[in-house]
Amino acid sequence: MSNDGYTRRGVLKTGLGAAAGSLLVTTPAHASPAAGPLKLWYDRPAAAWLEALPVGCGRLGAMVFGGVATERLQLNEDSIWAGGPHDYDNPEALAALPEIRRLVWEDKWQAAQNLADEKFLGKPSEQAPYQVLGDLTLTFPGAAEFTEYRRELDLSRAVTTVTYVRDGVRHTREVFASNPDQVVVVRHTADKPGSVTFQAAFTSPQASSTSSAGRDSIALDGVSTDTQGLKGEVRFRALARARTRGGAVRTDGGTLIVEGADEVTLLISMGSSYRSYKDVGGDPAEVAGRHLTRAGGQPYEVLKRKHVRDYQRLFGRLDIDLGTSEAAALPTDQRIARKQLDTDPGLAALYYQFGRYLLISSSRSPGYAANLQGIWNDSLTPAWESKYTININCEMNYWPAAPANLVECMDPLFDLIKDLAETGARTAATQYGAKGWVAHHNTDGWRGTAPVDFAFYGVWPTGGAWLCLMLWEHYLYTGDERRLREHFPLIKGSVEFFLDTLQTDPRSGYLVTNPSHSPEVGHHEDGGENVSICAGPTMDMQILRDLFGAFGEASEILGVEAEMRAKAADARSRLVPNQIGHLGQIQEWQEDYRGDAALSRSRHISHLWGLFPGHQIDPRLSPDLAAAARRTLELRGEAGAGWSLAWKINFWARLLDAPEAYKRLSNLLLPARTAPNMFDLHPPFQIDGNFGGTSGITEMLLQSHGDQVHLLPALPAAWPAGSIRGFRARGGFEVDLSWSGGALTRGRIRSDLGRRLTLRTGAPVTVTSGGRPVTVSRPEPNVVVLNTHRGTLYDLTPSP
């Protein structure tokens, strides 16, 4: 989609002005600029990493602690992975596959799972961790006391600011990470000339050394660690250069010394030797040096202006106002600690926009996809290696991208999928003797696609297929045929793999995956062992139904692969259908397993994939399945992990149950799940919950599936009045809404593609365009259908 489709924002904003104006009376969200809804702020320095504030430009990230005597900037560069290029595929796997399958057909699960553990896992059977680069620490001499402290992250500009008074001088320090200039920028000013004095030095837990890199610059050079027998091969360099007005700057053995300056701009540049998953031969000094030189030639104000403009081009496309209250004036950590979302609706809006901020900051080109921690990681051995877990977490990261009007942030994900189609073709051939490509439940910087982490977790062949559906979602939102053509070979490769490897279940006659499992959930204790291995779990069937469907539609749109389309359609019709089990639940497996299996309290609820992100289960189109999905959610309970709660918001919103969706959102925003810096807590920090939460709020306010755009489908009582601007719906629509008393007061929809629009609302609406009535049909009182024109605005008002 071209950018100008997104830049005609002024029109829409003016268009909704009247409604937004009247809204201000009931929800003066912008009443308190200091405590404005788009700022995270604190009245003290961060004492811990989960209090520090993240900045990022996709490739580079920093956690800013905002200290007074010392400022810590914990630095990340998004290609620093332990180990080096590696083919994880296991050549012994193929010979074991028929026997694993046979054991599964015979319900000899323990034997099957053991054999898979022995022969079918990758080599090594664990993937590599994403790693920290290091810290830059600034040390400021002076009194221990300080006053008038404030630290904030302004989401509208992606700039953090810390300000305080110390020894009678007001100091102000801004930090941001610039995508256009590929540097982290720190600017320290004081209200009294000559009072900026500090020393700065790099440290790192990596094998590394520090040095002076010139009169005004210092360097950190290092290499990532060995892991699992793989030699650490990602070499990196970080540079920091000080530019001062007044005073003096020098270096001494890797320490940067600034004395008596009026103000200082510190540029931090980072580069690595990682060029791709198969090439670590880059020159980190060249990369870091190039960006530093380019940025160094530009005044601070220019760097900042370029950064803010670049960021706002994305961030500024969308507004959300859910109302405000006195709580909005509190520091952010105190708002979270109150545990009272009901009386702080602005906190949900802030969380929403923080999710968008995190996506823009962690998933931009140039740069790699957002991993389990986005890009922010202070460890050599982070939880779950901070890699890409693709049985839920990585996909969840990208749920809000298209609907929250940040579709370009998906590009790094698409680059990842391209890599996986290469390594996954190797895995398909080596381990399955199959065409196409496959990815299991995790991948890392080396784009491992073989099963890892024990068969119980790893033998699940559908990760790549799910990722392919993100490519299709991109098309559904944008109608961008050029990109669809570019992505089509990836989708085709995934379909090829399954056409080649699906097995006819000798008992049921259905076409199923074998071996596979319902992610991370055991269905029996077999021989004293919890077994997950099985054939044709529900999630696989749901994903493949959509994959084959998407392939069919895409191939038709592009006018290609007619023969394979027919094969995919045939395979699709032979998959196990969604089934309702003995407890009235959606069956998680092909068989209606009883006992512990059916009553599992796992945080994974993979068999509701068809409810969200899929749309095979829908209260309107398949009410029986929707009732069963509700039952599944009730049975599953509230078992932990931020991402699991976040997924549940989306599920309940899709079931059109506003109170239940809202309850999960409230729980997600409790201190147990949301850190003081608003990072989602699995615990520990895992960014998927942030993104899943943003997605969930979207699904409460706007849904677009089943060929309908549904306005305010699950609006909770806690948000009686509010407005949104710039939400995106499938079919190429952009939606602005305001509501009051829980009911739509105004809406405006822009059609980018000129598609037919079916609109569902809570009460009948009248549609006009340019002040003139628009011809609509009304198949139901609350549904209007209209043929839209490309680039045209449609206004909605409640029918008299």
Nearer to ligand FUC, 130 or 475 (CB): 130
Q: 240-279 burial, b if ≥16 CB within 10 A, otherwise e? A: bbbbbeebebebeebebbbbebebbbbbbbbbbbbebbee
Nearer to ligand FUC, 384 or 460 (CB): 384
Nearer to ligand FUC, 335 or 682 (CB): 682
Nearer to ligand FUC, 351 or 456 (CB): 456
Instruction: Report angle CA 382, 386, 388 to the nearest 5 degrees.
Output: 160
Site for ligand FUC in 734-793 (CB under 6 A): none
Nearer to ligand FUC, 448 or 732 (CB): 448
Interface with ligand FUC, residue 389, by CB under 6 A: yes
Site for ligand FUC in 669-698 (CB under 6 A): 682, 686
Site for ligand FUC in 65-124 (CB under 6 A): none
Interface with ligand FUC, residue 384, by CB under 6 A: yes
Q: Closest approach of Cβ 646 to ligand FUC, in Å?
A: 11
x/- binding map, residues 226-265, to ligand FUC, per CB under 6 A?
A: ----------------------------------------
x/- binding map, residues 134-173, to ligand FUC, per CB under 6 A?
A: ----------------------------------------
Q: Closest approach of Cβ 384 to ligand FUC, in Å?
A: 4
Nearer to ligand FUC, 110 or 397 (CB): 397
Name which of 293, 229, 230, 212 is nearest 221 in CA terms.
Answer: 212
Of positions 27, 125, 179, 393, contacts ligand FUC by CB under 6 A: 393
Quote the CA–CA distance of 783 and 777 in Å, as a whole number: 8
Q: What is the DSSP letter of 383?
A: G
Interface with ligand FUC, residue 641, by CB under 6 A: yes
- Beta-carbon contacts of 772 under 8 Å, excluding residues fewer than 6 positions away, are none
Joined together, the tokens standing for residue 550 give 């998407």
x/- binding map, residues 593-622, to ligand FUC, per CB under 6 A?
A: ----------x-------------------
Site for ligand FUC in 524-583 (CB under 6 A): none
CB–CB of 447/274 below 8 Å? no
Name which of 537, 540, 547 is nearest 569 in CA terms.
Answer: 547
Q: Closest approach of Cβ 522 to ligand FUC, in Å?
A: 13
Q: Identify residue 786 by its one-letter amino acid code.
A: L
Q: Closest approach of Cβ 385 to ligand FUC, in Å?
A: 9
Q: Identify residue 150 by its one-letter amino acid code.
A: R
Quote the CA–CA distance of 152 and 516 in Å, as a whole number: 47
SS3 657: coil
CA distances from 766 to 23, 673, 699, 708, 798 (A): 20, 42, 23, 17, 6
Q: Closest approach of Cβ 682 to ligand FUC, in Å?
A: 6
Nearer to ligand FUC, 442 or 585 (CB): 442
Q: Closest approach of Cβ 462 to ligand FUC, in Å?
A: 15
Nearer to ligand FUC, 405 or 686 (CB): 686
Q: Identify residue 568 by its one-letter amino acid code.
A: A
Quote the CA–CA distance of 399 and 298 in Å, as a whole number: 37
Quote the CA–CA distance of 64 and 373 in Å, as a whole number: 16
Q: 283-310 burial, b if ≥16 CB within 10 A, otherwise e? A: ebbebbbebbeebbebebeebbebbbeb
**How many chain residues interact with ligand FUC (CB under 6 A)?**
10
CA distances from 629 to 49, 584, 694 (A): 38, 9, 22
Q: Closest approach of Cβ 236 to ligand FUC, in Å?
A: 25
Instruction: Report angle CA 352, 356, 362 to the nearest 5 degrees.
Output: 140
Cα four-point dihedral sign 98, 99, 103, 104 = negative
- Per-position DSSP letters for 279-312, written without gaps between them: B----HHHHHHHHHHHHHTS-HHHHHHHHHHHHH
Nearer to ligand FUC, 331 or 464 (CB): 464
Q: Closest approach of Cβ 673 to ligand FUC, in Å?
A: 13
CB–CB of 138/199 below 8 Å? yes
Beta strand pairing call for 319-321 and 783-787: unpaired
Nearer to ligand FUC, 384 or 739 (CB): 384
Quote the CA–CA distance of 591 and 535 in Å, as a whole number: 10
Interface with ligand FUC, residue 396, by CB under 6 A: no
SS3 126: coil
Q: Closest approach of Cβ 690 to ligand FUC, in Å?
A: 13
Quote the CA–CA distance of 227 and 231 in Å, as a whole number: 7
Nearer to ligand FUC, 73 or 681 (CB): 681
Of positions 62, 372, 459, 697, contacts ligand FUC by CB under 6 A: 372
Nearer to ligand FUC, 608 or 735 (CB): 608
CA distances from 133 to 233, 237, 341, 380 (A): 14, 9, 37, 9
Q: Closest approach of Cβ 446 to ligand FUC, in Å?
A: 18
Residue with the closest Cβ to ligand FUC?
A: 384
Q: Closest approach of Cβ 640 to ligand FUC, in Å?
A: 8
Quote the CA–CA distance of 441 and 455 in Å, as a whole number: 11
Interface with ligand FUC, residue 277, by CB under 6 A: no
Nearer to ligand FUC, 127 or 788 (CB): 127
Q: Closest approach of Cβ 764 to ligand FUC, in Å?
A: 44
Nearer to ligand FUC, 6 or 130 (CB): 130
Nearer to ligand FUC, 251 or 686 (CB): 686
Q: How many H-runs (helices) and E-runs (strands) does the chain carry? A: 20, 34
Of positions 520, 540, 618, 795, contacts ligand FUC by CB under 6 A: 520
x/- binding map, residues 429-468, to ligand FUC, per CB under 6 A?
A: ----------------------------------------
CB–CB of 200/138 below 8 Å? yes
Quote the CA–CA distance of 86 and 82 in Å, as a whole number: 11
CB–CB of 224/232 below 8 Å? yes
Nearer to ligand FUC, 107 or 117 (CB): 117
Q: Closest approach of Cβ 628 to ligand FUC, in Å?
A: 23
Q: Closest approach of Cβ 467 to ligand FUC, in Å?
A: 15
Quote the CA–CA distance of 408 and 604 in Å, as a whole number: 29
Q: Closest approach of Cβ 173 to ligand FUC, in Å?
A: 34
Q: Closest approach of Cβ 82 to ligand FUC, in Å?
A: 17
Nearer to ligand FUC, 165 or 383 (CB): 383
CB–CB of 194/244 below 8 Å? no
Quote the CA–CA distance of 445 and 419 in Å, as a whole number: 10
Name which of 198, 130, 119 is nearest 166 in CA terms.
Answer: 198
Nearer to ligand FUC, 173 or 648 (CB): 648
Q: Closest approach of Cβ 444 to ligand FUC, in Å?
A: 12
Q: What is the DSSP letter of 681?
A: B
Name which of 357, 516, 488, 370 is nearest 432 in CA terms.
Answer: 516
Q: Closest approach of Cβ 223 to ligand FUC, in Å?
A: 26
Helix (H) or strand (E) holding 770: none
> Which residues in this chain contact ligand FUC in the complex, by CB under 6 A?
372, 384, 389, 393, 520, 603, 641, 643, 682, 686
